Amino acid sequence: MTIGGATALAAGVYTTREGSRVIWGYINRILGQPSLIRESSISKFPWSGIVSRGANKMSNYSTAAGAAAPLTNKSSFGNIVLHPSLQRRIEQLARATANTKSHQAPFRNMLFYGPPGTGKTMVARE
């Protein structure tokens, strides 16, 4: 009885300690992400995208050639004023990101830098 009780107590303490570490790590991961990343590419719950990924795969299989249709060049940067070369680069990054999302590939890292108030977040959200 004593050995079984000690074993159960040790297992309970270990399970509680490790379980709390996992839960706190998950909470810190959710709360520690910047809001732009959280709202754009990473869901809060890993299992929440299963249905949308399945529907996306089914729509890809239903195209005529069996491959995803290429995305059209729809510019949503109508209200953003940029230098022409910078606008071409941003539009290229937007097309690449849209294609990455449609093919469920890993996203590229991009760093927008500059003084505050120059529209970095606005361009990233567009």
Residue-wise burial string across 97-118, b where 16 or more C-beta atoms lie within 10 A, e elsewhere = eeeeeeeeeeeeeeeeeeeeee
What is the CA 28 to chain-centroid distance, rounded? Answer: 16
Structure tokens at 32: 């520690």
* 14 and 62 co-located in one domain: no
Nearest to 68 by CA among 58, 54, 78: 58
Higher pLDDT, 92 or 53: 92
Same domain, 47 and 98: yes
**Which tokens belong to 97?**
């990101």
pLDDT at 68 over 90: no
Structural domain including 44 reads 33-125
Examine the domain organization and report whether 88 and 52 are in the same domain: yes
Q: Are residues 10 and 51 in the same domain?
A: no
Same domain, 102 and 40: yes
Shared domain for 116 and 61, answered yes or no, is yes
Total tally of structural domains belonging to the chain? 2
Question: Binning pLDDT at 50, 70 and 90, where does residue 40 land?
Answer: low
**59 lies in the same domain as 86:** yes
Same domain, 75 and 91: yes
Q: 118 pLDDT band (50/70/90 cuts)?
A: confident
Q: Would you say residue 63 has pLDDT above 60?
A: no
Residues 105 and 87 in one domain: yes
100 and 106 in contact (C-beta within 8 Å)?
Answer: yes
For residue 74, what pLDDT is reported?
52
Task: Report the alpha-carbon distance of residue 17 to residue 29 in Å, rounded.
Answer: 18
CB atoms inside a 10 Å sphere around CB 88: 11
Q: Are residues 91 and 119 in the same domain?
A: yes
